[in-house]
């Protein structure tokens, strides 16, 4: 009889000095079948890292004894551990600093626990370089390779867990694209949907709005799954699941 080898749970190191937030996130992540180790300071982080191996570190920035960006930088050369920044610092400069320090993903507080768990799952898979690695089961596991449009929260989330906040009209527009799957949508159809009143084929209102959306995505290093085909229309490059 072939021996069945148990696959180990994804191991997370959660560094957060806010006790209530840390306990709440840790409890949720354990329910999602992660093996979570908690730390409340940079000193605890270093001690645990010296004696254990982890798939992903989730780092707060404002710790009592060290800056979380410095912790991320200390892991930047390692290929065996992914880094997620989780912080209240939300400016573009903060995010760019996080990514330049070595973060793979950057989340701002308050964070959606399910989104964080899904992002960590994808990052674990990338770090392990093994498609058969044990990942926590979830409602979104069947769409792990797809984009996700959350209409209620007005968020677009990439397969790697990176997300952006959308306006109401941007949410409706992305849902319109999702409904057409990989078919090319004519420019006139897009214009009539986005701004039906004028019906002007030379209107630039959609182009301006889409340019703003693309710039918003670029701020978090996200390439939208939408291709503008000059003189033809718009085509969806990847499947978008809609909640």
CATH numbers and ranges of domains, the chain: 11-144 (3.40.50.2300), 163-242 (1.10.10.10)
- Under a CB-based contact definition with an 8 Å cutoff, are residues 98 and 69 in contact? yes
pTM tops 0.85: no
Q: Does the bond joining 110 to the residue before it have cis omega, within 30 degrees of 0?
A: yes
pLDDT, tens digit, for every residue of 175-228? Answer: 888 887 667 788 788 777 776 555 555 556 777 888 888 888 888 888 888 877
Q: Is the pLDDT of residue 89 over 70?
A: yes
Rounded Cα distance between 52 and 142, Å, is: 31
> Among positive and negative, which fits the CA dihedral 59, 119, 162, 26?
negative
CB count within 10 Å of CB 55 equals: 24
At 193 the pLDDT is: 77
Q: pLDDT class for 239, splitting at 50, 70, 90? A: confident
Mean pLDDT of the chain: 81
Rounded Cα distance between 34 and 89, Å, is: 26
At 231 the pLDDT is: 63
Region 169-177: what's the mean pLDDT? 85
CB-count exposure of residue 33 (10 Å: 0-12, 13-18, 19+): middle
Tokens of 196: 């039906």
Tokens of 2: 């072939």
- Under a CB-based contact definition with an 8 Å cutoff, are residues 38 and 58 in contact? no
Rounded Cα distance between 73 and 98, Å, is: 9
CB-count exposure of residue 199 (10 Å: 0-12, 13-18, 19+): exposed
Q: Is the pLDDT of residue 24 over 60?
A: yes
At 68 the pLDDT is: 93
At 130 the pLDDT is: 37
Higher-pLDDT residue of 212, 4 = 212
CB count within 10 Å of CB 26 equals: 18
Region 10-37: what's the mean pLDDT? 92
Percent of the chain with pLDDT over 90: 26
Tokens of 57: 């570190």
């Amino acid at each position: 009889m072939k021996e069945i080898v148990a696959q180990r749970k994804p191991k997370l190191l959660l560094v957060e000095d806010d006790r209530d937030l840390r306990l709440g996130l840790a409890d949720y992540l354990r329910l999602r079948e992660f093996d979570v180790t908690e730390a409340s300071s940079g000193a605890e982080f270093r001690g645990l890292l010296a004696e254990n191996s982890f798939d992903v570190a989730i780092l707060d920035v404002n710790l009592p004894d060290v800056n979380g960006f410095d912790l991320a930088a200390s892991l930047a050369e390692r290929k065996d551990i992914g880094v997620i920044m989780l912080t209240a610092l939300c400016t573009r400069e903060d995010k760019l600093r996080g990514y330049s320090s070595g973060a793979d993903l950057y989340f701002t507080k308050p964070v959606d626990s399910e989104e964080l768990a899904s992002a960590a799952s994808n990052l674990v898979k990338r770090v392990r370089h093994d498609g058969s690695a044990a990942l926590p089961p979830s409602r979104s596991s069947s769409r792990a390779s797809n984009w996700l449009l959350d209409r209620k929260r007005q968020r677009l989330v990439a397969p790697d867990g990176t997300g952006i906040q959308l306006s109401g009209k941007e949410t409706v527009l992305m849902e319109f694209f999702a409904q057409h799957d990989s078919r090319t949508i004519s420019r006139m159809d897009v214009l009539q949907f986005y701004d039906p009143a004028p019906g002007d084929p030379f209107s630039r209102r959609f182009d301006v709005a889409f340019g703003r959306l693309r710039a918003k995505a670029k701020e978090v290093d996200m390439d939208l799954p939408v291709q503008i085909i000059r003189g033809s229309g718009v085509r969806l490059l990847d499947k978008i699941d809609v909640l």
